[in-house]
Amino acid sequence: MQRTYISGISERKDGDEVTLFGWVQEIRKLKKLSFIVLRDHTGTVQITIKPENVSGYDQITSVNRESVVSVRGNVSFNSGAKAGVEITARDVKILNTSEAPLPLAIFEGIQSDFETRLNNRSLDLREPFHNLIFRIESSLLWGIRKYMHEHDFQEVHTPKIVASATEGGANLFQVRYFEREVFLNQSPQLYKEMLMASGMDRVFEVGPAFRAEEHNTVRHLNEFTSIDIEMSFCDHNEVMKVLEESVNSGLKEVFERYGEEVRKINPALEIQKLPFPRVTYRECIRLLSDEGVEAKFGDDFSPEQLRLIGRHFPGFYFITEWPSEVRAFYTMPKPEDPEVTNSFDLQYGERELTSGAQRVHDPKMLEKRLVEKGLNPEDFNFHLNAFRYGMPPHAGWAIGLERLTMILLNLPNIREVSLFPRDRTRVVP
């Protein structure tokens, strides 16, 4: 018989026969019958088990919690079950018995410490809220992906094993690759730019990125999922428009699927009217000065400074025209004011979500920028070659899926939105 998911029971008629599969969440024994609360990823339902209806009654009603079972039975809407529906079992099979005791509490209202949860992640994800996080994250990504396909972006997949750094610096994981040393890629940045020279015009990628930064904070991971785009024949303003529209597309998908649940998690979250506010880096310095806080041109803003700036812009907003000295070599200086760049950060309140910019497309300017950043152009010949034979003006951005999900759901730790987090101390499970 075809499987019925628990969420689909309400669509059946009274007396219909169904076959369910799931985990034993709870067992209650009475004198003449027993009840099992059965759970699958769509919900829970009460199973009524009578010894005269089910063979192996004693074994079934003594099975450990979180064991996996199948249940064949009949739908009953005229019952005393809290949900107004239950299943009268005709056949129950134990498919796999769970060990006892469980290494962490799941449904007792007891919060296990984070390390215990992550050490037993597959069990931890059975908890409905923890599972819901990743269904929301999946919907968010699907909404963004859907926007990209609807706007003629081509999905690509670039190498994650590379010979040199994307942006220079030491934040690279070095790995042994046959007879030589190579690196795990920090970003698909150089490759997606090279694809602009190929005529692909609009590309996006969803894939892993690796940063060997020795952070130990609630906002950083050493491996994360990056959503990247690059567009030809455009500037930073056009890709900012794509960014705000794609974020809203992701949120729309989330609210359509999980609106009730999301409003309970973060009541302040909403689909924000477009365009998002824009404020320049220099304007932010003036805002801080008005608050009596000194900010030096050329420095990144501190968390406290961003908190003060964010007071003026609830929700999403862009900080634009960042100083040239703090942006990567491939960032285009503003033609009329080369001290700053055609770049932006997308913020949500005090928290940075992502960066983007118009890129340098002239090969001579790009070489000059590499030298200014203390990098050797010869190390980037594979990249520069793509610029020597007709590179169009282009721009793009990258956003971390985990950080976006964490901020939108107002969660305290980015590890909550990573299935199997990788940080300075954790490489298992």
Q: Catalytic residue numbers? A: 211, 213, 219-220, 352, 355, 403
Q: At what angle do helices 128-150 and 236-265 cross, to 10 degrees?
A: 150
- CA 367 – CA 387 distance, rounded (Å): 10
Report how far Cα 243 is from the mean position of its chain's Cα atoms: 15
Task: Fill in the DSSP letter of residue 11.
Answer: G
Structure tokens at 139: 């919907």
Tokens of 119: 């050490």
The single residue listed with the structure tokens 């628990």 is 6
Token pair recorded at residue 45: 């339902």
CA-CA distances (angstroms) from residue 334 to 37, 73, 280, 323, 387?
A: 63, 69, 12, 10, 20
Is the Cβ–Cβ distance between 381 and 416 less than 8 Å? no
Name the DSSP letter for residue 364.
Answer: H
- Separation CA 187–CA 163 (nearest Å): 13
